[in-house]
Amino acid sequence: MSLEKAIARLNFESQVLEPGHVWLAGAGPGDPGLLTLDVLSALAQADALVHDALVAPEIVAVAEQAEKFFVGKRGGRLSIPQDDINALLVKLAREGRKVVRLKGGHPFVFGRGAEEALVLTRENIPWRALSGVTSAFGGLTSAGIPATVRGVNGAIILATGFAAVSDDRPDWAALARTGQPIVIYMGLTHMEETVAELLAGGLPADTPAALVENASLPQERTVTTTIGALVETAARENVVSPALIVVGGIVAMRAELMGAK
Ligand code: SAH
């Protein structure tokens, strides 16, 4: 059966993106196969698309009829201030545009989607959030690392490595004490500090760790090591953003699963 026929069989009926509404949508980690039908439909309906650097160009290109507003980092230059992005969404909605705000991964996972939604609510602009596959789950899967394994972990922690000293800065020592695997988003910049705190919190230095770069994209690369050797490995292998840091016993399953292939 063709893909078109399979989709037709679903009887999938998309909601209509009305003029003046904003849909906050997640594009997944990069692989177009990880787009949801809702997000694909959003891209087909948008006449204004506000997107980040993390969204793959092929996915942006689906919305060929939409005016594109790129609000991510370009060539290392500072990204557009969040207030300006909020103002842009409000302006486009007020102009009666059909707005899709497209983010990498899931819009409500470390993507500031909730902040944007709050602004829209305050401004009385109708909005809707469309789930995307967050890079932790899409990325672990494409790297061959299961998120949970019976007998290995009964929980999995998603953490940001980038939060400055603020309320949402994770207590790494407390996370280490759970003994559960941790997937760290935006972890490269402050990796040294994060690793030091995890070790100080009692995480054994030989705990398996992985760096998953460009997960789900053709240039995906996974480097496995231990938490004790993570900083040195990342430097030696020149791991670049976007990358996830995965720490815990689930990482060791990768070699076992690949061995079985
Ligand atoms: N909302 C996004 C996360 C945004 S924060 C989501 O749900 O995935 C940005 C961080 O996400 C990056 O620093 C990186 O840690 C991670 N990330 C996003 N896409 C990625 C990819 N394709 N490969 C590896 N990490 C990715």
Parallel, antiparallel or unpaired: strands 22-26 and 127-130: parallel
Per-residue pLDDT, averaged over 14-40, amounts to: 97
196 Cα to the center of ligand 1, angstroms: 22
In the residue annotation, 168 being an active-site residue is answered as no
Predicted local confidence at residue 259, as pLDDT: 83
Secondary structure percentages of the chain, helix, strand, coil, to 5? 35, 20, 45
| Per-position DSSP letters for 68-111, written without gaps between them | EEE-S--TTPPPPPHHHHHHHHHHHHHTT--EEEEESB-TTSSS
Give the residue carrying structure tokens 């497209």.
102
**Phi, psi (5° rounding) for residue 121?**
-60, -45
Buried residues in 86-98 as b, exposed as e (16+ CB within 10 A):
bebbbebbeeebb
Per-residue pLDDT, averaged over 174-191, amounts to: 96
Nearest CA to ligand 1 atom 15: 185
For a mutational test of ligand 1's pocket, the pick from 54, 188, 247, i.e. the residue with the most ligand atoms closer than 8 A to its C-beta, is 54
- Residue 109 to residue 137: CA distance in whole angstroms: 11
Predicted local confidence at residue 17, as pLDDT: 98
Is it the case that residue 123 has pLDDT exceeding 90? yes
Q: Is 25 helix (H, G, I), strand (E, B) or coil?
A: strand
Q: Is the CB of 113 under 6 A from ligand 1?
A: no
- 31-56 pLDDT tens trace: 999 999 999 999 999 999 999 988 99
Predicted local confidence at residue 66, as pLDDT: 98
Predicted local confidence at residue 74, as pLDDT: 58
Query: What homologous superfamily is domain 135-259 in, according to CATH?
Result: Tetrapyrrole methylase, C-terminal domain (3.30.950.10)
Q: What is the largest CA-CA distance in the chain?
A: 56
- Residue 39 to residue 178: CA distance in whole angstroms: 35
- 211-232 pLDDT tens trace: 999 999 999 999 999 999 999 9
Q: Is the CB of 104 under 6 A from ligand 1?
A: yes
Nearest CA to ligand 1 atom 18: 135
Handedness of CA 130, 134, 135, 138 (dihedral sign): negative
Closest by CA to 59, choosing from 174, 171, 216, 227, is 216
- 241-259 pLDDT tens trace: 999 999 999 999 999 998 8
Per-residue pLDDT, averaged over 129-148, amounts to: 98
- 94-115 pLDDT tens trace: 999 999 999 999 999 998 999 9
- Residue 90 to residue 191: CA distance in whole angstroms: 36
Q: Is the CB of 105 under 6 A from ligand 1?
A: yes
Identify the DSSP state of 124: T
Q: Which of the four pLDDT bands, split at 50, 70 and 90, describes residue 237?
A: very high
- Residue 138 to residue 84: CA distance in whole angstroms: 30
Yes or no: is domain 6-130 CATH 3.20.20.330?
no
Cβ contact 216:137 at 8 Å: no
Closest by CA to 224, choosing from 198, 247, 196, 192, is 247
In the residue annotation, 167 being an active-site residue is answered as no
Q: Is the CB of 216 under 6 A from ligand 1?
A: yes
Predicted local confidence at residue 164, as pLDDT: 64
Q: Is the CB of 239 under 6 A from ligand 1?
A: no
Answer whether 6-130 and 135-259 agree in fold: no
In the residue annotation, 83 being an active-site residue is answered as no
Give the active site residue among 52, 98, 103, 191. 52
Q: Which of the four pLDDT bands, split at 50, 70 and 90, describes residue 162?
A: confident
Q: Is the CB of 185 under 6 A from ligand 1?
A: yes
Domain ranges (residues) in the chain: 6-130, 135-259
For a mutational test of ligand 1's pocket, the pick from 36, 145, 244, i.e. the residue with the most ligand atoms closer than 8 A to its C-beta, is 244
6 Cα to the center of ligand 1, angstroms: 30
Is it the case that residue 76 has pLDDT exceeding 60? no
134 Cα to the center of ligand 1, angstroms: 7
As beta bridge partners, residue 105 has 28
Is it the case that residue 261 has pLDDT exceeding 60? no
Predicted local confidence at residue 163, as pLDDT: 73
Q: Is the CB of 101 under 6 A from ligand 1?
A: no
